[in-house]
Chains A and B, each alone.
Chain A
Amino acid sequence: MSAWRTIFIKELKEFSRDRRVLATALLGPFILELLLILGFATVNEALEKPQAHTVLVVNEAAGAPLLEPMRASGLFKLKALPDGADPAEALRRKEGRVVLVFPDDFGEGFANHEAPEFTALFDPNETVSRVALTMVRAVVQKHTELEQRARMVLRGLDPESFTPFVMKEQQAETGKAFAGAWLVSFLPYLIVLWAFYGGFSIVADLVAGEKERGSLETLLVTPVSRSSVAVGKFLALASVSLASCLSALLGVVVLAVVRVPALEPMFGEGLALSPLSAIAIVATLIPLVLFFSGMLLAVSTFGRNMREVNGYLSWLSFVVLVPAIASQFIGYTEFTTSPWLPFIPVLNSATVLREALMNNVDLYRFLVTLAFSAVLACAGVWLSVRLFLSEKVLLRT
Chain B
Amino acid sequence: MIRVENLSKHFPDPKRGAIRAVDGVSFECEPGQVFGLLGVNGAGKTTLLRMLSTVITATSGSASVGGHDILREPEQVRRSIGFLSTTTALYARLTAREMIRYIGSLYGIGGRELDRRTDEVIALLEIAPFADRLCDKLSTGQRQRVSLARTVLHDPPVMFFDEPTAGLDVLAGQTIMEFIESQRDAGKTVVFSTHVMSEAERLCDRIAVIHSGKIAAIGTMEDLRARTGRTVLEEVFLALIQEVAA
Binding site for B on A (CB under 8 A): 1, 3, 6-7, 10, 13-14, 17-18, 213-215, 217-225, 391, 395
- Given contacts A6-B106, A222-B78, A223-B78, A217 and B87 within 8 Å (CB-CB): yes
Interface residue count on the B side (C-beta < 8 Å): 29
Q: With A and B bound together, what is the CA distance between A1 and B57 in angstroms?
A: 28
Q: Which of A6, A10, A221 has the most CB of B within 10 A?
A: A221
Q: With A and B bound together, what is the CA distance between A1 and B106 in angstroms?
A: 9
Q: Are A222 and B103 touching (Cβ within 8 A)?
A: yes
Q: Are A224 and B85 touching (Cβ within 8 A)?
A: no
Q: With A and B bound together, what is the CA distance between A220 and B53 in angstroms?
A: 9
Task: Give chain A residues whose Cβ lies under 8 Å from the Cβ of B198.
Answer: none
Q: With A and B bound together, what is the CA distance between A3 and B91 in angstroms?
A: 17
Q: Are A17 and B93 touching (Cβ within 8 A)?
A: yes
Q: Is the interface of A mostly helix, strand, loop or mixed?
A: helix
Q: Are B56 and A14 touching (Cβ within 8 A)?
A: no
> Across the two chains, which residue of chain B brings its CB closest to A232?
B106
Task: Give chain A residues whose Cβ lies under 8 Å from the Cβ of B76.
Answer: 223
Q: Are A217 and B85 touching (Cβ within 8 A)?
A: yes
- Given contacts A6-B106, A395-B56, A215 and B88 within 8 Å (CB-CB): yes
CB distance from B87 to the nearest CB of A (A): 4
Q: Are A217 and B79 touching (Cβ within 8 A)?
A: no
Q: Are B90 and A221 touching (Cβ within 8 A)?
A: no
Q: Are B55 and A213 touching (Cβ within 8 A)?
A: no
Task: Give chain B residues whose Cβ lies under 8 Å from the Cβ of A7.
Answer: 106
Q: Are B106 and A217 touching (Cβ within 8 A)?
A: no
Q: With A and B bound together, what is the CA distance between A225 and B75 in angstroms?
A: 8
Q: Are B106 and A223 touching (Cβ within 8 A)?
A: yes
Q: Are B94 and A221 touching (Cβ within 8 A)?
A: no
Q: Are B88 and A217 touching (Cβ within 8 A)?
A: yes
Q: With A and B bound together, what is the CA distance between A37 and B73 in angstroms?
A: 57
Q: With A and B bound together, what is the CA distance between A10 and B98 in angstroms?
A: 9
Task: Give chain B residues whose Cβ lies under 8 Å from the Cβ of A13.
Answer: 93-94, 98
Q: Are A10 and B150 touching (Cβ within 8 A)?
A: no
Task: Give chain A residues whose Cβ lies under 8 Å from the Cβ of B14.
Answer: none
A sample of 10 cross-chain residue pairs with beta-carbon separation below 8 angstroms, ordered by A number, consists of A6-B102, A7-B106, A14-B92, A17-B93, A214-B87, A215-B89, A217-B88, A221-B88, A223-B76, A391-B56
